[in-house]
Amino acid sequence: SAVISQKPSRDICQRGTSLTIQCQVDSQVTMMFWYRQQPGQSLTLIATANQGSEATYESGFVIDKFPISRPNLTFSTLTVSNMSPEDSSIYLCSVVSVNTEAFFGQGTRLTVV
Amino acid sequence: AQSVTQLGSHVSVSEGALVLLRCNYSSSVPPYLFWYVQYPNQGLQLLLKYTTGATLVKGINGFEAEFKKSETSFHLTKPSAHMSDAAEYFCAVSDPGGYQKVTFGTGTKLQVIP
């Protein structure tokens, strides 16, 4: 299993500002995934963060809005830039093990006012 | 691209009744399929998964699901609902092999009526 720590656990931010979310995994992983869960909705994959290369973004998500860093095999950050109230969501970091099980951090609950 | 469709955003059952949550998948290759549960204000927990082999898979808390290729379905069942089963359930799919990204369905909120 993998233990994932996310910081901050929650934040309230002013529109137009940016927030960086950190994700730390207790083991080395090749890929880390960032998801968004909007209120009352399912998880939507934002991007896949690969160590040593650019992140791969899903349709509807762009690097300028959600820049990602992946400096090593246990750590990643997701920045939510130029925030608007529509960005209010839970942001989750995830890794998938060799036996296919996905593990999730507890999430970052973001409210933009 | 992989996708899953969950029929019914809300399902209500009486305590002790059968739980049936429906999931159909779309995939160009034999997929891996999952059910996750999310209790209020908590993170996601894996209930069960199908990768290869036996098509009837058993998970935690008495849940099971059957992979039916001919119907492209992976419905979740439990013979007798318990109050503690009230939660949101997500069906999910990935490409075969480890380390693949997981795509989630829209979720089904299960209500258990005493």
Cross-chain Cβ contact B49/A31 below 8 Å: no
Contact A113, A43 (CB under 8 A): no
pLDDT digits (tens, 9 = 90+) for B49-64: 999 889 999 999 999 9
Chain B residues with CB-CB distance to A107 below 8 A: 43
Chain A residues with CB-CB distance to B102 below 8 A: 33, 45, 94, 96, 102
- At A23 the pLDDT is 96
Is the pLDDT at B101 greater than 90? The verdict is no
Chosen for mutation from A6, A42, A50 (greatest number of chain B CBs closer than 10 Å) is A42
How many Å is the Cα radius of gyration of chain A? Answer: 13
pLDDT digits (tens, 9 = 90+) for A1-19: 788 999 999 999 999 999 9
Chain B: nearest CA to A105, how far in angstroms?
7
Amino acid identity of residue A10, one-letter, is: R
- At B77 the pLDDT is 98
pLDDT digits (tens, 9 = 90+) for A36-54: 999 888 899 999 998 888 8
